[in-house]
Amino acid sequence: MADVKLDILTPLGAVREGIEVAGVEVPGIQGELGLLPHHESLVTAVTAGVIRFKEGNSSVRIAVGSGFLEVKEAGRVVILVERAVESSDVDAAAAKSARDEARKELDAYKGSVDAPEYRALHDRWAWNDAQVRAAS
Amino acid sequence: MANLKELRLRIGSVKNTRKITSAMSQIATARLRRAQNAALAARPYGERLQEVVAHLIGGIDPAERSSAHPLLEAREVAEGEEHTLYIAMTADKGLCGGFNGNINRSVLATLRTEREAGRKASLITIGAKGSGFFSRDEGLISKHAAPTLDTIVELSKAIAAEATGRFLGTAEGVDDDDRPNRVVLVYNHFVSVLTQEVTELQLCPLQPAEAEGGSSFQREPVFEPSRGEILEHLVPVTIESMLQQAMFNSVAAEIAARRVAMDAATDNASELIADLTLEYNRERQAAITSELMEIIGGAEALKG
């Protein structure tokens, strides 16, 4: 059976490189995306969320920040994200409190939603939320 | 005799200096590997990103390219109204050879030629050395600390946001008069341990590298949601990534420069110690000889 060849790259190095998985689930900008072998060539944006795939018999969950995904011919999937952390490395309690704090600040925010501050705040919330979801 | 003591003290002090320089060189050697590995690990991400951007932008008609995303727009400005924002990346500490001086000198020369030609030039400095050097510059906008391996991601985001905010005129307190129409980063590129190259890199408007040997896609991929919307996300991230790559380079180059400088300093100290020891021994021998002569002279006098 053909496999998906998966790369997960961040600016701080590769989280996974050239591993072969049966399929992978990615948080796309338009919703959750399941990629199987023979997927059409595709370029799309990834939002903060959780990437899931099976490595051997264990399922792996990786919290990622926003980024991009490209599917090339021959089932090669490259995911470029600004950061990534495996569910086993998440400090769930810290992420949870950071998420709740960011949520509170977001709720109290009165400025424009286009302002860089708002986006930074939202990114922080989304990233911590992704970590919490990966760990749970 | 005073000379002997002076020499001894001098040798002692040079030996202390050598201890410090050789320790610094050893520390730099240890840190260099980490910095090089980090720079190497960061490369695939940056390269893939560049490739995707090049592909995306390559598919847009050149005439419409600059309107595809505001950060790609080469704005038309009147003669004499050109304004370039320079970002100068130096280190926080010295003792690393020409690392900081090269950047400062190159940026200073560029600022001068720009201003003499009647164009505007402003500056953001990264690193205490550059901030100090340009602290009285008329165009200095802001100063930042030098990146370290742990702060690169955050710092590159902050600086990218600041620079693009100015370029787009969305940053607070920036009116159309001080909107730069070009943002250029000046940093030390890590060529090898022995060489760094002062490199100028244009961040805005973003000029994607031409994809070499055509696209890596055999067929035109599907863009979801659309080319434009992906560009919307991709362009700012690409600028951040370019800054990041430059920072990784700069950090590695700084450590390499420090190692080379401290190695040279250690060698010089060893040479100096050898010279001083030779002189010291010569003086010592001269003193012993003259003492002996005095004793012999005294004994001869008693005999007679």
Q: Are both A107 and A123 inside the same structural domain?
A: yes
Q: What's the CA gap between B235 and B241, in Å, rounded? A: 10
Whether residue B211 is predicted with pLDDT greater than 60 in this model: the reply is no
Is A116 in contact with B161 (CB distance < 8 Å)? yes
Q: Are both B97 and B85 inside the same structural domain?
A: yes
Q: Are both B291 and B166 inside the same structural domain?
A: no
Q: Do A30 and B224 touch (CB under 8 A)?
A: yes
Q: Are both B53 and B72 inside the same structural domain?
A: yes
pLDDT in tens, A38-78: 888 888 999 999 999 998 888 999 999 988 998 987 788 99
Q: Are both B183 and B253 inside the same structural domain?
A: yes
Q: Which residues in chain A belong to E strands, given as ranges?
A: 4-10, 13-21, 24-28, 31-35, 42-46, 49-55, 58-64, 67-72, 76-81, 84-86
Query: What average pLDDT does this structure show over B120-147?
Result: 93
What domain range is B135 assigned to?
20-212+221-260
Confidence of residue B54 (pLDDT cuts 50, 70, 90): confident
Nearest CA in chain A to B39: A12
Whether residue B173 is predicted with pLDDT greater than 80 in this model: the reply is no
The model's pTM: 0.86
Number of domain units in chain B: 2
In chain B, % of residues over pLDDT 90 = 59
Q: Token digits for B116?
A: 């003499």
Q: Do B229 and A45 touch (CB under 8 A)?
A: yes
What pLDDT, on the 0 to 100 scale, is given for residue B23?
A: 96
Q: Are both A77 and A114 inside the same structural domain?
A: no
Q: Do A14 and B216 touch (CB under 8 A)?
A: no
pLDDT in tens, B29-43: 999 999 999 998 888
Q: What's the CA gap between A69 and A54, in Å, rounded? A: 18
Q: Are both A14 and A77 inside the same structural domain?
A: yes
Q: What's the CA gap between B101 and B105, in Å, rounded? A: 6
Query: What average pLDDT does this structure show over B209-235?
Result: 72
Q: Are both B172 and B287 inside the same structural domain?
A: no
CATH of the domain at A54: 2.60.15.10
- Of residues B48, B52, B225, nearest to A30 (C-beta): B225
Element (H, E) at B7: helix B2-58
Q: Are both B274 and B294 inside the same structural domain?
A: yes
What pLDDT, on the 0 to 100 scale, is given for residue B2?
A: 56
At a CB cut-off of 8 Å and minimum separation 6, what does A55 contact? A19, A21
Chain A residue numbers with beta carbons less than 8 Å from the beta carbon of B230 are 43-45, 68
Is B96 in contact with B258 (CB distance < 8 Å)? yes
- Calculate the CA B95 to chain-centre distance: 13
Instruction: Give the 3-state secondary structure of residue B43.
Output: helix
Q: Do A70 and B52 touch (CB under 8 A)?
A: yes
What domain range is A54 assigned to?
4-87
Mutation target to probe the B interface, by most B beta carbons within 10 A, among A5, A7, A8, A9 is A9
pLDDT in tens, B78-122: 877 889 999 999 999 999 999 999 999 999 999 999 999 989 999
Number of domain units in chain A: 2
Q: What's the CA gap between A64 and A48, in Å, rounded? A: 5
Q: How many CB atoms lie within 10 A of CB B247?
A: 27
ipTM, two decimals, is 0.83
The 8-class DSSP code of residue A20 comes to: E
